[in-house]
């Protein structure tokens, strides 16, 4: 009689195949994650630059609207009298239009002061012998690099110095 002998032992081939699949999954996931992080950072940086630019545009437009609506307004400083007064840096969110002594941010027209961008100070404004200027300051050099990128989009004379972006809206 022929007996079929059953074999017992270790299944080496299935273990090797399973280990190879597991290892390739780990490598694929690691490559996926490491390759994706820079793309997300680039997208976030671009969004920050665009937000800084859009806030500059909004502030500029609201200041021009204030001056145009009340050209006879007098801020009492002798500098650009139809624009809000601020011989020293003042928060953009608190500016008043000299023609009617109300906030330049008219909620009835859905015009709200820009929110503070994470990593930057709130926008400030001056109207003095240097002209009309708005400024924001970066928290660190990495954020300041994004301000430098924003300068390339801004039509008005602007510069970044010591982490601060200064935009001159009108000369003296």
- Assess contact for 128 and 77: CB atoms under 8 A: yes
Q: Can you give the pLDDT of all 172 residues of the chain as single tens digits?
A: 566 665 555 566 666 676 766 777 776 676 666 665 677 788 899 999 999 999 999 999 999 988 998 888 888 888 999 999 999 999 999 999 898 878 888 776 677 888 899 999 999 999 999 999 999 999 999 999 999 999 999 999 999 999 999 999 998 8
Q: Which residues of 126-154 are buried (b: 16+ CB within 10 A; e: fewer)?
A: bbbeeebbbbbbbeeeebbebbebbbeeb
Could you state, in order of their start, the residue ranges of all structural domains in the chain? 13-170
Against a cut of 0.85, is the pTM above it?
no
């Amino acid at each position: 009689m022929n007996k079929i002998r059953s074999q017992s032992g270790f299944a080496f081939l299935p273990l090797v195949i399973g280990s190879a699949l597991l290892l390739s999954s780990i490598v694929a996931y690691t490559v996926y994650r490491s390759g994706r992080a820079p793309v997300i950072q680039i997208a976030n940086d671009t969004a920050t630059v665009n937000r800084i630019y859009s806030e500059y545009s909004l502030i500029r437009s609201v200041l021009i609207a204030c001056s145009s609506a009340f050209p006879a307004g007098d801020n009492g400083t002798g500098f650009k009298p139809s624009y809000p007064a601020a011989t020293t840096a003042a928060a953009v969110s608190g500016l008043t239009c000299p023609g009617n002594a109300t906030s330049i941010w008219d909620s009835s027209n859905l015009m709200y002061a820009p929110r503070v961008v994470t990593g930057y100070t709130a926008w400030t404004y001056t109207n003095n012998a240097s002209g009309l200027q708005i400024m924001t300051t970066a928290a660190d050099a990495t954020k300041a690099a994004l301000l430098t990128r924003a300068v390339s989009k801004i039509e008005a004379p602007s510069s970044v110095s010591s982490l601060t972006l200064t935009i001159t809206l009108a000369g003296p």
